[in-house]
Each structure stands twice: as structure tokens, then as C-alpha cells.
């Protein structure tokens, strides 16, 4: 690798990371938006989102289970992007749910292929890269701007169709001259690395981590319900795009601002902040007047997830084990999405508030238990893992 190529490698990696995160965020919200409009019933819409998560995990498992050469990866990117774009257009022009199934499978394969491009560029670097906080924030911003008004299905299908093709072309260009990807262990934290964590074995036995682990769950109901929440906010004169952008800003803004210091936080500090944000979001969701209830919930729980995610990126003791199956993690999240969909179908926005209220109450209760334990054992407040709380530039998406 010559000096010029070596200097450009981090830029190419970060650009690929941003593309992959943009695909993940836009796909999650976009598929949910089409599902809300086309599926028979609310629970049916959530079932399609669950199917997308499961397909993403299966595609990621296949993508990390074998070596892919750049030419084969490029062909996969272009083909899946084209199929996805055509299926999205067809879904809102008479194809309905059948076309949406093709689109969600294509988008899952495209996202897994993008993750493979990132993996290849990452493994080609001589030094482990820093966590992808800035790249993920940039990708989320792009996704939020591309999504626009998620309630306008015809325009949304055009925007997302163009988006997936442009992203695929960019990824093909970014992986140019990269060495053939060697077979490597699976994602370090389940589905798409730490974005949807498969926690370390025995993590729940450590009460000190409970608020952080619960904050890691907050993304699932929030992202799954975001298209429905945007529609409810429209009735309160809040533009859907503003709702989406505010939530994404909460997810990635605080962790980006604190990216230089969050690696030094102890497990106790991270858990305390996550517990406070989850409790605040739950209180706003349960008692604040509309539309401040949903907006406050999106901001507080989005920030809680972002900080928990950042803490997992930096601390090996707070993230999943290398080789954890993406499919296993995806199956768990798909089941939780199905259960959440049943709640939302039965109770509507009150069901969303109740689920997030339960997360906040559980985190607050866990923190009270932690405080009581600390008072009982004042000399055993060392954060679990010891050196694991030191910054670790583990490679991530």
C-alpha cells in the first residue's frame, strides 16, 4: 500500500461507514413507513419490520461467513440496489405488500453487503480504526434528509430508490483497489455491531450494567414505531420530517459531542446517565401534554441509546463477544418487534408510552438497587471489568 493510498484509507473507511449507517437508518424507517401504509393492520406492519430485521441478520450471517472478492461484492451491491429500487416503486404502484417483501429482502441484502465493504476496508488498515461515531452521525443525517415526509409514499419510493442506487455506486467506488476480504469472525456485538447488541454472556448478572443494557433496548421500539409516531405528531401540527430528524439528532448528537470523553466514563457513571434519561423519557411520555410527550420521549430515549452505544464501543466489557451470530441477535429483536406491534395495535400511542415507561421504570429501579448496594458495600464500587473501562479502539461499523 503506497503512501497516498494509506493516507486515503481512513477517509474511505469513514465514507463507507457513513453509507452503511445511512442504509441501516433509512431502511428501518423507510420499510416501516411503507409497512404502515400497505400492511393489513398495525401488527401486520410491525411484522414486516420484524421480517426486515430477521432478513438483515440472515444476510449479515451469510456475508460474514465467507470471503467476498471486490468484484463479487460490487455485483451484489448493484443488483440488490436495483431490485430494491424497482420493488419500492412497484409497491406504491399496485404491487402492494408482495412488492414490499421483495424490497425489504433486497434492502437487507444491500445493507449486509455494505457492512461487508466496511469490514474489508477496516481489515485492510494497519492500525485499528476509531469507533464510527462521527460516521454514524453523518449517515443518520443523510438518512433523515432523504426520508423527508415519510407519509408521502409515492415521493418516498422515488427518493429511496435513487438513494439506494447512489449508495451502492459509492460503495463500489470506495472498495476499489481493496484487497480481497478474508474470512473473519462475526460481528462483535450481534446485528450490525453494537447498534443492536447481543450482550456479553452473563451481563445481566451484573446489576451495575442494567440501566445501560436497558438503554440499548430503547432503539428497538422507538425506531419500529417512528413512522406511526410521525403520523400521530402530524395530527399535532408537528412535521413528520422534524420528528424523524429530532429523534436521529438525539440518538447521535450527544454521543458525538461526548466522543472524546465517554471512553473514560466508568460503568457506574454510564449507567447513571442512562437511568436518568430513560426515567425522564418515561415521565414525559406518561404525563407531558401532546405533542411534547412523544417529542420528549424521542429525545430522552434516543440520547440514552446513543450514550449506551458509545459506551459499548469503548468498553470491551460492555459489548458482545466476537463471533456472536447476527442471525441470533436479529431473531431476538424480530420477536420483540412482533410483541411491540401487538401492544401498539391494541393500545395505540398509549402502548408506546407504556413500553417506554416500563423501560424507564426498570432502569430507575435498577439504579436504586445499585445505590443501595453501594451503601451496603462502600468499598466495592470498582466498576466491573477494571481495565475494560479504559478506551479501546475496537473496530466497529
**Residue 184: its pLDDT value, please?**
47
**Residue 58: its pLDDT value, please?**
86
Look up the pTM and report it: 0.87
Length of the chain: 397
Cβ distance 89 to 159 under 8 Å? no
Tens of pLDDT, residues 205-218: 777 888 988 898 88
**Residue 3: its pLDDT value, please?**
46
The rounded distance, in Å, linking the Cα atoms of 58 and 112 is 9
Residue 377 banded pLDDT, cuts 50, 70, 90:
low
Give residue limits of the domains in the chain.
Answer: 7-389
Tens of pLDDT, residues 230-251: 888 888 888 888 889 999 999 9
Highest mean pLDDT among 90-104, 123-137, 277-291: 90-104
Tens of pLDDT, residues 55-65: 988 888 776 65
**Residue 314: its pLDDT value, please?**
64
Residue 226 predicted with pLDDT over 70: yes
**Residue 183: its pLDDT value, please?**
46
- Mean pLDDT of the region 5-26: 86
CATH 1.20.1250.20 is held by the domain 7-389: yes
Pick from 203, 225, 216, 95: nearest CA to 154: 95
Helix (H, G, I), strand (E, B) or coil at 196: strand
Show the cell assigned to 376.
Answer: 451496603
Alpha helices by DSSP H, listed for 288-383, are 292-314, 326-347, 349-376
The rounded distance, in Å, linking the Cα atoms of 303 and 71 is 39
Buried b / exposed e over 111-143, threshold 16 CB at 10 Å, is bbbbbbbbbbbbebeeeebbbbbbbbbbbbbbb
Instruction: Write a three-state SS string for 198-264.
Output: CCCCCHHHCHHHHHHHHHHHCHHHHHHHHHHHHHHHHCCCCCHHHHHHHHHHHHHHHHHHCCCCHHH
Q: 346: Cβ–Cβ under 8 A, 6 or more apart, which residues?
A: none
The rounded distance, in Å, linking the Cα atoms of 84 and 70 is 21
Show the cell assigned to 95.
Answer: 404491487
Show the cell assigned to 291.
Answer: 405533542
Q: Angle at CA 358, nearest 5°, toward 254 and 212?
A: 40
**Residue 204: its pLDDT value, please?**
72
Amino acid at each position: 500500500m503506497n503512501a497516498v493510498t494509506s493516507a486515503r484509507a481512513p477517509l474511505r473507511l469513514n465514507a463507507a461507514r457513513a453509507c452503511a449507517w445511512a442504509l441501516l437508518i433509512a431502511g428501518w424507517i423507510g420499510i416501516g413507513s411503507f409497512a404502515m401504509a400497505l400492511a393489513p393492520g398495525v401488527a401486520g406492519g410491525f411484522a414486516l419490520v420484524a421480517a426486515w430485521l430477521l432478513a438483515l441478520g440472515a444476510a449479515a450471517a451469510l456475508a460474514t461467513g465467507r470471503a467476498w472478492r471486490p468484484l463479487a461484492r460490487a455485483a451484489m451491491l448493484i443488483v440488490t440496489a436495483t431490485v430494491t429500487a424497482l420493488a419500492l416503486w412497484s409497491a406504491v404502484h399496485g404491487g402492494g405488500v408482495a412488492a414490499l417483501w421483495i424490497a425489504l429482502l433486497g434492502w437487507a441484502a444491500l445493507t449486509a453487503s455494505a457492512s461487508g465493504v466496511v469490514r474489508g476496508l477496516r481489515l485492510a488498515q494497519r492500525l485499528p480504526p476509531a469507533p464510527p461515531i462521527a460516521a454514524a452521525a453523518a449517515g443518520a443525517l443523510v438518512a433523515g434528509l432523504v426520508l423527508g415526509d415519510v407519509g408521502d409514499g409515492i415521493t418516498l419510493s422515488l427518493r429511496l430508490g435513487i438513494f439506494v442506487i447512489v449508495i451502492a455506486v459509492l460503495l463500489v467506488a470506495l472498495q476499489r483497489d481493496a484487497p480481497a476480504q478474508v474470512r473473519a469472525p462475526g460481528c462483535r456485538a450481534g446485528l450490525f455491531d453494537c447498534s443492536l447488541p447481543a450482550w456479553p454472556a452473563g451481563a445481566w448478572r451484573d446489576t451495575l450494567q442494567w440501566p445501560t443494557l436497558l438503554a440499548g433496548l430503547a432503539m428497538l421500539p422507538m425506531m419500529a414505531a417512528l413512522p406511526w409516531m410521525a403520523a400521530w405528531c402530524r395530527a399535532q401540527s408537528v412535521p413528520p420530517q422534524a420528528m424523524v430528524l429530532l429523534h436521529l439528532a438525539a440518538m447521535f448528537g450527544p454521543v458525538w459531542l461526548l466522543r472524546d470523553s465517554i471512553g473514560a466514563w466508568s460503568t457506574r457513571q454510564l449507567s447513571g446517565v442512562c437511568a436518568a434519561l430513560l426515567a425522564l423519557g418515561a415521565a414525559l411520555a406518561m404525563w407531558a401534554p401532546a405533542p411534547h410527550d412523544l417529542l420528549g420521549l424521542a429525545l430522552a430515549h434516543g440520547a440514552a441509546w446513543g450514550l449506551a452505544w458509545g459506551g459499548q464501543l469503548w468498553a470491551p466489557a460492555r459489548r458482545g463477544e466476537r463471533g456472536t451470530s447476527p442471525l441470533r441477535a436479529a431473531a431476538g429483536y424480530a420477536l420483540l418487534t412482533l410483541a411491540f406491534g401487538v401492544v401498539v395495535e391494541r393500545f395505540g400511542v398509549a402502548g408506546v408510552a407504556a413500553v417506554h415507561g416500563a423501560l424507564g421504570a426498570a432502569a430507575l429501579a435498577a439504579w436504586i438497587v445499585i445505590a443501595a448496594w453501594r451503601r451496603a458495600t462502600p468499598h466495592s464500587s470498582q466498576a466491573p471489568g477494571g481495565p475494560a473501562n479504559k478506551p479501546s479502539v475496537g473496530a466497529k461499523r
